[in-house]
Chain A
Amino acid sequence: MRATRTRPRLAVWKFASCDGCQLSLLDCEDELLAITEQVEIAYFLEASRNTSPGPYDVSLVEGSITTHEDERRIQHVREQSKWVVTLGACATAGGIQALRNGRDLQEFASLVYAHPEYLDSLATSTPIAEHIRVDFELRGCPIDKQQLLEVLSALLIGRKPNIAAHSVCVECKLAGNVCVLVSSGEPCLGPITHAGCGALCPSYDRACYGCFGPAEAANPSALSRRLLGEAPPTDQRVDVPRDALVKTARLRRLLQTFNTLAPEFRKESLRHG
């Protein structure tokens, strides 16, 4: 008798996050039913009452680690999963909640809660890869659902996901956008930001605020100098320095938003106080 082919088992996990990245899966309106034919959704609390125990073939992880309990829970996810894929800026770079890192947690908490002592909260918000081995990281706040579909299908077929690693600038050129930095002097993070959104903000006349985190081989210090109107250290050309587009504090805020712990953004932001 031929063994019936079993479908790969998918699990979706949530840590500190807004639910936006896992919602991207439910927002695949055209593909959702096809996906459920290809994979068994074994654990996806937002979508189903049915949950079945591991092991799982693919675990999608949303959110950052901010509590003791979650430090333990992420270990369990790793043990139960063949592949772990992180979804979005929270899971890959600590998320907006990483703005607490380095601050006084008690003070931070007491602004919001009358009884901060009841909270089981770590002083930091950290990416998943600081806790366990991660097989693939999907960027974005939120992720792009086409990229999610690409990663899922690549893993299921057993090939490497084909996700571009260049910058938003390249996507802007592909989209035929006018450069918002050059033409309107807007402080755009496009040159150092990872592709994935199709240069969305510049297409809407807005500067990129870096929600996909750093591009591969990004050069944030060169961009900082340009935005602050500083001459490059070795540049002899006469047309520099140019006007400053931002003050230091604004530059720091720009780099410290949704991808605060992405190493390239973090290193550069620390250079500016």
Chain B
Amino acid sequence: MASRTLEVDFLTRVEGEGALRIELDGAEPKRIELRIFEPPRFFESLLRGRDQHEAPDITSRICGICPVAYITSACAALEQAHGIQLRAEHVALRRLLYTGEWIESHGLHVFMLHLPDFLGLPDAMTLAKQEPTLVKNALRIKKVGNSLVRVLGGREIHPINTRVGGFYKAPEAAALAELLSELAWAEQATLEALERLAELEFPSLERDYELVALHAPDRYAIESGRIRSSSGLDIDVSDYTQHFHELQRPHSTALHSLMRLTPQSEPREYLCGPLARFVLNHSELPEDLFELAGRAGLEPTCRNPFKSILARTIEIAFACREAARIIRAYEPPSEPSVPLPPAADAVEGHGASEAPRGLLYHRYRVDTDGLITEAQIVPPTSQNQGSIERDLWDLAPELGRLPLEEATLLAERAIRNHDPCISCATHFLNLEIRRA
């Protein structure tokens, strides 16, 4: 077979800008390049010297699609640094806000960015002509998530009502209760959509991923938890840097996030995100949702990245139900937030939460004036970068066989499976492969 080059100049329907270059010699991959030309924005540097209370607002601007994730991980890290404990009501509200982001962000990805791939269509607008009810419902589902973030956070993108220690203003129970009927509708509509998604054809690809996600014993982990992996890692978030490293690979200058089970063991690539969460945490899902997932073709042993669309959809349904549960149990806290105590010494804290795309880790050092002296942010996309490229290597023989256009589409789809959010350019170099 002749050698060929597949090139996608602009990756579309991803958040941010990237390009992909794959060089094949026959069925043999010679070169695979996921090139990100998202300009670096240097968040970790520009946070130095800023007040700790600015961290959630500033880091939310890393990504307009999952601002709540950045806000939550930043708040968690700073609260841990100061050793403050939120009240149960604040924790519930934070989780509620996060379910809104899950519904909205997953809704966007499943129906508008990802589903068109399975149907060979360019976008959701075209899909709307073929399946108007599906797309109208999808927009309404997404809107429910947005409404939740708006009522609680003030606005959908970069909400303003969150702070280290809780919220500026606790929402009124009545304003939240107004969302209940739409949430119930959205859960139902999502489960109906899941039946439609179950009919899709999923390319066969099974990968031996090491899966990584937060885990909580009593709930499907979203806003906090311990870090677990499929081969048995189980650590506190504050031990993250002892097990997760960004390493330079000998054959490329790209930095990859790698994980070690123990400080002595071999580092390996890993995957976080909806598939990892579903596999690691399915026993914390309500039983009926777990069964519906199975019926749709999503097994708890699943390692097919194309089925992440099913995991996301189950998570939308779960988030709708969970939001309704929190709203029904809600009683406004006496104070909207817990104050930060003055610190006698410099402090350091770690925080992580499950962004729609996967684990989002933050670490801060803060001086006695409350100013940030060091910040580290590891977004999900940079952690998944190695796995995304490895998926493409595994698909290479298939890519070599297919007609050029179909092969290009398949490669794009393999990337979109992971919904890489390239705007989180805090670690721009992680996303680039360069070879001699």
**Chain A 196-224 interface mask (CB, 8 Å, partner B; 1/0):** 01001101111001010000000000000
A70 to B37, CA, bound (A): 10
Given A18-B63, A114-B248, decide whether A30 and B112 contact each other with a Cβ distance below 8 A: no
Indicate which residue in B14, B42, B54 contacts A253 across the interface (CB closer than 8 Å): B54
Interface presence of B135 (CB below 8 A): yes
Interface presence of A26 (CB below 8 A): yes
User: Restricting to B146-176, which residues have a CB under 8 Å from any CB of A?
Assistant: 146, 154-158, 160-161, 168-169
A21 to B11, CA, bound (A): 19
Indicate which residue in B13, B37, B42, B169 contacts A206 across the interface (CB closer than 8 Å): B169
Q: Do A46 and B429 touch across chains, with their CB atoms under 8 A apart?
A: no
Size range of the chain A interface in the assembly: 35 or more
**Chain A 37-70 interface mask (CB, 8 Å, partner B; 1/0):** 0000100011111110000000000000011011
Q: Do A112 and B13 touch across chains, with their CB atoms under 8 A apart?
A: no
Given A112-B45, A118-B429, decide whether A26 and B253 contact each other with a Cβ distance below 8 A: no
Interface presence of A149 (CB below 8 A): no
Given A47-B123, A97-B42, decide whether A26 and B112 contact each other with a Cβ distance below 8 A: yes
Interface presence of A174 (CB below 8 A): no
Stretch in A9-17, A151-159, A262-270 with 4+ CB within 8 Å of B: A9-17
Q: How many chain B residues touch A (Cβ–Cβ < 8 Å)?
A: 68
Q: Which residues of A contact B61 (CB under 8 A)?
A: 18, 20, 95-96, 141, 258
Indicate which residue in B44, B155, B161, B429 contacts A115 across the interface (CB closer than 8 Å): B429
Interface presence of B294 (CB below 8 A): no
A205 to B10, CA, bound (A): 43
A111 to B374, CA, bound (A): 9
Q: Do A47 and B40 touch across chains, with their CB atoms under 8 A apart?
A: no
Q: Do B39 and A205 touch across chains, with their CB atoms under 8 A apart?
A: no
Q: Do A257 and B54 touch across chains, with their CB atoms under 8 A apart?
A: yes
Q: Which residues of B contact A70 (CB under 8 A)?
A: 39
Q: Do A119 and B428 touch across chains, with their CB atoms under 8 A apart?
A: yes
Q: Do B42 and A19 touch across chains, with their CB atoms under 8 A apart?
A: no
A32 to B336, CA, bound (A): 35
Q: Which residues of A contact B160 (CB under 8 A)?
A: 200-201, 204, 206
Given A27-B156, A49-B123, decide whether A19 and B39 contact each other with a Cβ distance below 8 A: no
Q: Do B13 and A47 touch across chains, with their CB atoms under 8 A apart?
A: yes
Q: Do B42 and A108 touch across chains, with their CB atoms under 8 A apart?
A: yes
Interface presence of A175 (CB below 8 A): no
A108 to B50, CA, bound (A): 15
Q: Do A16 and B253 touch across chains, with their CB atoms under 8 A apart?
A: no
Interface presence of A29 (CB below 8 A): yes
Q: Do A142 and B157 touch across chains, with their CB atoms under 8 A apart?
A: yes
Q: Which residues of A contact B432 (CB under 8 A)?
A: 118
A149 to B142, CA, bound (A): 19
Indicate which residue in B11, B336, B423 contacts A19 across the interface (CB closer than 8 Å): B423
Q: Do B125 and A47 touch across chains, with their CB atoms under 8 A apart?
A: yes
CB distance from A71 to the nearest CB of B (A): 11
Q: Do A51 and B13 touch across chains, with their CB atoms under 8 A apart?
A: no
Given A19-B63, A29-B146, A49-B12, decide whether A113 and B108 contact each other with a Cβ distance below 8 A: no
Further pairs besides A23-B157, A48-B12, A67-B39: 19, Cβ < 8 Å: A15-B39, A17-B64, A20-B61, A20-B64, A29-B139, A30-B143, A33-B136, A33-B139, A45-B10, A97-B41, A100-B46, A111-B44, A111-B48, A112-B40, A112-B43, A112-B426, A118-B429, A204-B161, A206-B160
10 A-B pairs in the complex with CB atoms less than 8 angstroms apart: A17-B64, A19-B16, A20-B157, A23-B64, A23-B108, A46-B13, A47-B124, A97-B39, A97-B41, A97-B46
Q: Closest 9 A-B residue pairs measured CB to CB?
A: A20-B64, A48-B123, A50-B122, A29-B143, A49-B122, A206-B168, A16-B39, A29-B139, A18-B64
Q: Which residues of B contact A (CB under 8 A)?
A: 10-17, 37-46, 48, 50-51, 54, 57-58, 61-65, 67, 108, 112, 116, 122-126, 128, 135-136, 139-140, 142-143, 146, 154-158, 160-161, 168-169, 248, 253, 255, 336, 412, 423, 425-429, 432, 434
